[in-house]
Each structure stands twice: as structure tokens, then as C-alpha cells.
Amino acid sequence: MLLRDAHNRIIRDLRVSLTDRCNFRCFYCLPNGEPPLARRETILTFEEIERICEIFVSLGIEKIRLTGGEPLLRRDIEVLIEKLARLKIQDSGFRIQDSEIQESNPKSKIQNPKLKDLALTTNGHTFPRRAADLKRAGLDRVTISLDSLNRENFRKITGVDALENVQQSIEAAKRENLTPVKINAVIVRGRNDDELIDFAQFAREKNIKMRFIEFMPLDSSRVWTREMIVSGKEIFRRINARFPLILKEKSRGAETAWRYGFADGAAGEIGIVAPVTEMFCGACSRIRLTADGQIRTCLFSTNEHNLRDFVRSGATRAEIIEFIKDVVLKKEARHRINDKEFVQPARTMSFIGG
């Protein structure tokens, strides 16, 4: 049984936001301080997340990424990771809510869970001292946000003086084999686009996957304008002029990034994610679950679907499956950033999860 939307796209990637809190104040996300936080009782518990993720995996989800806000602010996240990692164990006999499964189908049981990848996106602030525990709990890999290699510019962008922490996070991820290590940089004209070559050199020296992301209209202060976008094509052109690049694959499939290697054989990789100027909606395989239990079918959706209250109402496993399948059928064909009538989502990236 696979999750398939009305446009015949198979959904294999679930992004789960664990909190809307963050200890950074990036200008493109939360520059004006903490937003009104969701009430504690509205946030999904670990048990609820575990139950929901197991159902999603039974419907064909192969990748789960834990996001935020900053997910490492969620207390005891290692406990949740350990629970979710069990979904990767083949023929384990692992079951969640056996009575529910038998209620919907007395002869059924969970066999051969097929979760293939359990990842985490973090700003890296507290990651170095927690990397070993996260790996031990069952985390497969990590993506770290790094928007500047210059200490002062990093502070201006993020609102904190923590560049050294983030750099240590990269080494910690390598040391604990949380690989491949991916580094995300949101490129904004006039803010950090003058560091593109430095980032490419950094990827070569550190043997990491450096991913450049176009600035998207998901900021809380609503400062986004088209003039601030550095397009994927421009990013490629500027790096390629200094370090000639070779496209690794002719098709990116359901992935978000075009991936490039260095023509001279140097280590490292460049990835370019261009959701605004080169939308990749036609192959989108992602769905999102917010910290307070709302399903979002697109990063730019203006509608949410309240799975939390449905689960808490006492819904059976079979009913939850039907709810999820019905929501997936509502997944939009594409985002509308480039349409005149585009409306920025009411919730920003810190609420939605990356």
C-alpha cells in the first residue's frame, strides 16, 4: 500500500517538526524573537509521533527527517530517535498498538518495516556534545545549517555568535559517521552571496555536500523580495567560473537538489536547490507534520489538516490511515510563488519545519 496523490506522485518522505522554538534568530526566519509558542498541550507527544510515523511507514514512507524550529531543543530527543529507529529493523516483530492493528484486521501484523533513512536538520549550536548519543540512538545522518563562514557575518545573519559551534558540528558528524554530512546555506543577495566561492572551497577542503538554497518567502518579518533571490543558475555560474562543475546525474528524481562534482576530481559536492526559479513540484515526494500535529501537503500550503485532534479523538488505526490517504489526495500540483495571487503562508518556516 503506497501513498499516492491525485497527480500520481508517490509520497516517500515525511518531515516531522518537533518544536517551533529556536535558539537562533536568522533574519530569513525569526529575526524578531520567539513567535507566540504553541501551547504545550497542543504539541505532539513522543508516543503520538511514534504511532503516526509507524503508520506512515506502513504506507510506504522511506525517509523521516526530524526538523524544527531547532529539534535539539526538544527534551530527550534521543528517546524519540531510538523509538523511530526501530522502524528500520527488518523482521523485528516490532508493533505499535497491536490491539488497534487487530481491530482493523485481526490477521494483520507489522512485518518488514521499510524505513530506510532517519535524518535530522539542526543549526548545530548544541550538536557537538550530543552527536555520539544521537548516533547511538539510531540517527543515520545530519544536515547542518551554515549561512556564513565569516564570524561577524554569521552573527548578523543568525543573531548569535556561534560559528565555531557549527564548524565543530561538522567534525562531530563525521566522527560519529552521521554521513553523508550535508550543509545548507540559504543564499541572499547582499547578505552572503559574496561567500559562494568560499563555500565551494570549504566543501572541497572538508569533503562535504554543500547545498545552496534560494531565499523563499517564509520569513516572519515578511522582508522577502524577488530582488533578494540569487537564482540557482547564477549560483552555478559563479561557482563554475572558479571551480568547473560536472553534473552528477541527468535527473534529480524526487530530490530537491541538482548535484555537481568538481571537474578536477576534488572531494566534496555542490548541490543547488532552486524552488523559486526552477520549481521541482512535479516530482515532489514530501509531506510535512508540524509540531502541533497538522499535516501540510506543501511547504507553501495555506491549508492544514488536523491529524492531532483526529488521533486524540480515539480514531482507530484504519481510520487514521484513511484520514492520511484523503489528505495526500489534496496535495497541490505545485506551489504558487510565481503567481500574482500568491499568498505567503501564515506560519513561517520555524512552525512548518524544513
Q: What confidence tens digit (pLDDT) does each residue in 320-353 have?
A: 999 999 999 998 877 767 667 766 666 666 666 6
The topology under which CATH files domain 13-352 is: TIM Barrel (3.20.20)
Per DSSP, the three-state class of 346 is coil
Beta strands in the chain (DSSP E): 13-17, 63-67, 117-122, 141-145, 182-187, 209-214, 245-247, 258-262, 269-273, 286-289, 294-296, 305-306
Greatest Cα pair distance in the chain: 63
Q: Using one digit for the tens of pLDDT, what is the confidence trace for 151-166?
A: 999 999 999 999 999 9
Q: How many CB atoms lie within 10 A of CB 13?
A: 21
Low-confidence ranges of the chain (pLDDT < 50): 91-110
What is the pLDDT at residue 19?
A: 92
What is the pLDDT at residue 280?
A: 73
What is the pLDDT at residue 339?
A: 65
What is the pLDDT at residue 38?
A: 55
What is the pLDDT at residue 20?
A: 86
What is the pLDDT at residue 343?
A: 67
What is the pLDDT at residue 249?
A: 86
User: Model pTM?
Assistant: 0.88
What is the pLDDT at residue 28?
A: 78
What is the pLDDT at residue 48?
A: 98
What is the pLDDT at residue 33?
A: 54
What is the pLDDT at residue 313?
A: 98
Provide the residue type at 128 as one letter.
Answer: P
Measured distance CA(93)–CA(312) in Å, rounded = 26
Cell 492544514 -> residue = 304
CB 66 within 8 A of CB 120: yes
What is the pLDDT at residue 39?
A: 67
